Amino acid sequence: MKSNSQGKSRFKTVFVCQQCGKESPKWLGRCPDCQAWNSFVETKVSSFPVSSRPYPNGTKAEELSRVQKGNLPRFNVGFAEVNRVLGGGLVPGSLVLVGGEPGIGKSTLLLQISAMMARSNRIVAYISGEESISQVKLRSERLGIGGKGIYFLPEADLAAVLEYLRGLSPGLAIIDSIQTMYLEDVAGMPGSISQVRECTWRLERWAKQNNVPLLITGHVTKEGAIAGPGTLEHIVDVVLYFEGEQFSNYRVLRSAKNRFGSTNEVGIFQMSDRGLIEVDNPSQVFLSAYRDETSGSVVVPTLEGNRPLLVEIQALTTSNSFTPPRRVANGVDFSRLLLIIAVLIKRAGLKLFNQDIIVNVTGGLRINEPAVDLGIALAIASSFRDAKPISGLVAVGEVGLNGELRGVSQVERRIAEAIRLGFKSCLMPRLKSRSSFDFTDIRLLQIGSVSEAVRLGLTREGKKESARAETTEQE
């Protein structure tokens, strides 16, 4: 009972929601903020939160107009794709969180970045609470990394980590992962909201005080957030998500928050047997297996961040009169798919109610923008009618509930990319201003509705067959 004899306890007890981090003085069955059930856990927290202590170097306020606009220095991390996503390189003193599912390649990415930073004569501290030195050595050998200038510390006690960093004074530090780190003076298991939050705060302070960039990895929860939504994202400067579908080699690095740049940039990588390789010409890679002689397959010029990227949407419809029809969406939003099917049934007269429908984005990409709607609609219609799209076609446009087509952003860049890859026609919503477009290498098929798209975008030859198929079904 040593601590009690020192007067006021260093800890107070609160209940913390393990989903969103909400604190409450008493236990609650359901979190009023994120609505999670049974998520409150009794947690001892320090009565003197480190976060509320002022910076020791006494910061002064300055009138904004007098502040000189300095150029933020940036470190080149060796991957052009990562530099771009960071907004032009790694800012000294910044705390960058790299989130992703286990096994997606976070440690691989950070080890490769470490090697490239070490090559430019920076000392790198690589702290892992997950892997032993022999495991990391194995990985580095596989990646062809000698390891000169990279100091590896297998340690999860953050106080010891900070002590070590003080002694080493590296030019870059890596913490893999934040969920394995713990502080003795903070209650809760490693990975709990209180531990993760407090550890991140202390790392943030270390990075700022020493002006050293710090990259930390974080595992995402089932809901796709790092350690409960909103607990870490507001502490760190940059949040990057490393994503990819299972069984696909492609990885996308996306920024969800960036205090030093836009969140519109993405980096595209391929996981090889020798680590991550940047993909310079993603459209070409994602279309490498595309053949335009099959039905159910449509190419869409999407935007990944600010970058145009052609992807192939595949759909397969099969009749199913016995069970309720199934709909499967891989790489596109499921509710968006349901909306598009409803529009095709109601506004384009396609009898899809007894069809199982599977939609897939090839290459394991995830496309979130509504500009892909028309491509999905056309791929479904193409499979259902067994009529392939007209030769050399791309399709883009957002679909509304009335079957109308809506405009999409940056249509010029999308079309330019389609031309670059040799496509001949673009099915798209009507343009408001004609003058700005001067594309001679591609035929712009401007239409107003989904039913027009089905009429104009598909070849007719398949129709006879599908009519025959439909009649055999009815028999």
Q: Please identify, among the stretches 20-28, 71-79, 105-113, 167-175, the one whose residues bind ligand TYD according to the rule CB under 6 A.
A: 105-113
Shortest distance, position 129 Cβ to ligand TYD, whole Å: 12
Q: Please identify, among the stretches 95-103, 118-126, 156-164, 200-208, the one whose residues bind ligand TYD according to the rule CB under 6 A.
A: 95-103
For the window 249-278, what string marks contact with Mg ion as x by the rule CB under 5 A? ------------------------------
Residue 355, C-beta contacts closer than 8 angstroms, at least 6 positions apart: 317, 318, 319, 320, 325, 384
Question: CA-CA distance, 126 to 145, in Å (whole number)?
Answer: 14
- 273 lies in the binding site for ligand TYD (CB under 6 A): yes
The DSSP element (H or E) to which 267 belongs, if any, is strand 266-272
Q: How many residues does the chain have?
A: 475
Shortest distance, position 175 Cβ to Mg ion, whole Å: 11
Which residues, 96 to 115, sit near Mg ion by CB under 5 A? Answer: 107
How deeply is 404 buried, as exposed, middle or buried, from its count of CB atoms within 10 A (0-12, 13-18, 19+)?
Answer: middle
Name the percent of the chain in helix, strand, coil, to the closest 5. 30, 25, 45
Shortest distance, position 272 Cβ to ligand TYD, whole Å: 6
The residue number whose beta carbon is nearest to Mg ion equals: 107
Which residues, 152 to 181, sit near Mg ion by CB under 5 A? Answer: none
On the question of a cis peptide bond just before residue 321, with omega within 30 degrees of 0, the verdict is no
| Residue 193: contacted member of Mg ion, ligand TYD, none (CB under 5 to 8 Å, by partner type) | none
Shortest distance, position 100 Cβ to ligand TYD, whole Å: 5
- 140 lies in the binding site for Mg ion (CB under 5 A): no
- 105 lies in the binding site for ligand TYD (CB under 6 A): yes
Shortest distance, position 106 Cβ to Mg ion, whole Å: 5
- 274 lies in the binding site for ligand TYD (CB under 6 A): yes
- 106 lies in the binding site for ligand TYD (CB under 6 A): yes
CA dihedral 65, 68, 71, 74 (to 10 degrees): -90
Task: Closer to Mg ion by CB, 18 or 107: give it.
Answer: 107
Question: CA-CA distance, 110 to 132, in Å (whole number)?
Answer: 16
Q: Please identify, among the stretches 36-44, 150-158, 269-277, 375-383, the one whose residues bind ligand TYD according to the rule CB under 6 A.
A: 269-277
* Closest to 158 in 3D by CA, of 190, 121, 119, 120: 190
DSSP string covering 365-406: ----SGGGHHHHHHHHHHHHHT-PBPTTEEE--EEPTTSBEE
Question: Where on the chain is the footprint of ligand TYD (CB under 6 A)?
Answer: 100, 102-108, 139, 142-143, 271, 273-275
